[in-house]
């Protein structure tokens, strides 16, 4: 899927198998800041201070709640690590890439700074 397709798409309830390793690598090419690590896709976002970090976390929480696909978050003073995987498929799915693209779009807009 292209970046535009990921941004326009929405998460769906999924069952079955995770994406194959080759497909994960292909999709990571669309989202170059993301890495495949520990069974998920992860990215660290940097901020000016704690307030901006928390503002991003709150805005991201609203987006992923609408998608019904929630990440693991590691929140620090001036950064937040976001990790997506799909429990229902036991690995990485297209939903993870949809939400990752939306997280990147949020970060690019910087409405919280």
User: By residue range, what is the domain housing residue 58?
Assistant: 3-109
CATH of the domain at 22: 3.30.1360.20
pLDDT for 22 equals 95
Q: How far does the chain reach from its first CA to its final CA, in angstroms?
A: 30
Q: How many domains does the chain fold into?
A: 1
Alpha helical stretches, state H, 16-93: 21-30, 50-67
Q: Measuring CA to CA, how many Å separate 32 from each of 27, 43, 68, 86, 89? A: 9, 10, 24, 20, 23
pLDDT tens for each residue of the chain, 113 residues long: 899 999 999 999 988 899 999 999 999 999 999 999 999 999 999 999 999 999 999 999 999 999 999 999 999 999 999 999 999 999 999 999 999 999 999 999 976 65
């Amino acid at each position: 899927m292209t970046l535009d397709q990921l941004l326009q798409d929405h998460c769906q309830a999924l069952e079955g198998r995770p994406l194959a390793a080759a497909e994960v690598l292909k999709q990571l090419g669309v989202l170059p800041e993301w890495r495949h690590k520990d069974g998920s896709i992860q990215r660290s976002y940097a901020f000016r201070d704690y307030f901006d970090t928390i503002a991003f976390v709150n805005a991201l929480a609203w987006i992923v709640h609408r998608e019904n696909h929630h990440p693991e978050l590691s929140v620090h003073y001036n950064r937040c690590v976001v990790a997506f995987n799909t429990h229902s498929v036991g690995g990485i799915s297209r939903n993870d890439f949809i939400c990752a693209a939306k997280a990147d779009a949020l970060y690019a807009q910087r409405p919280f700074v």
